[in-house]
Structure 1
């Protein structure tokens, strides 16, 4: 049974959304998810773990809470949000991330093709694809822009592009 964070900073929370929430999300947005509830819950747990690795605004409300949210000191639109604030976009973002993880599971990076770099037509057709580098050890997105990134943007320390000076 998945333990859902409700804004109180549960020390054993595993997710911001339930499997039933994920099923509704998948239906609304036409994305593929596993049919069985244990697999759906596993995806939500994996997404929550991935979210914990992000640098969010503010700090955890309680050092004993299991997940990154709720947070204190979160400023959004020139307002400091309450300490028990759990944005809906965090929940939607987790569900979007769960579906992206599932897409990566069923369509692995090594099977994808890059952009067409050569196409020649003379009798027989020759087509060459760019190599998709994966030197970082991280999965590349299934699409150029992931819905979860959009959902999380306002709540991350850094948003968009930024330069790093070497």
Structure 2
């Protein structure tokens, strides 16, 4: 897959918020020795990191265009023009891309709790013990905090 970078102008088919030069510079500045591999491998990691941000986080503001391919750029965020990707968002993509190279980066929030069912006469009750898990990423969450709505985590709705 080709890396197509969103630059704030709502690029058709965009699949990354960061280009390879930005990511290489970010990791070089921090001496992140895990940022290795071919350009194609690194580009795939940037795409996976962007996918993670797409699926995992709930953002402030609104999409600039309803049919834009990525969650950025956004409008209605204080002190952020609607044609830029904030540097902190790009840095978060870089952090996640490094993780994508060195570990499994999975955007899904998956059920992990046991469903219990209790029936007393005609009354039925279902209990969910910790129905969802999400991996804490303090460095990423700290970078993104100013741009997140609510708790910032997208959690699927469970109906009982």
Q: TM-score range by the shorter chain?
A: 0.5 to 0.7
1:104 Cα deviation after fit: 2.0
1:103 and 1:146, CA in 2 relative to 1: closer, same or farther beyond 3 A? Answer: farther
SS of corresponding position for 2:83 = coil
| 1:40-119 equivalences in 2 (<5 Å) | 40-53=42-55, 54-76=57-79, 81-105=80-104
Correspondence for 1:22: 23
1:137 Cα deviation after fit: 7.8
SS of corresponding position for 2:150 = coil
CA RMSD of aligned residues (A): 2.5
1:48 and 1:90, CA in 2 relative to 1: closer, same or farther beyond 3 A? Answer: same
| 1:117-132 equivalences in 2 (<5 Å) | none
Distance 2:82 2:67 in 1: 15
* TM-score normalised per structure 2: 0.68
- Asked whether the equivalents of residues 11 and 64 of structure 1 are also in contact (C-alpha less than 8 Å), the reply is no
Distance 2:145 2:26 in 1: 19
- Asked whether the equivalents of residues 7 and 84 of structure 2 are also in contact (C-alpha less than 8 Å), the reply is no
Correspondence for 2:111: none
Q: Which has the higher contact order (CA 8 A, sep 6+)?
A: 2
Q: Which runs of 5+ in 2 are unaligned?
A: 106-129, 153-160
May I ask how many residue pairs the two structures share in their alignment?
Answer: 125
* TM-score normalised per structure 1: 0.65
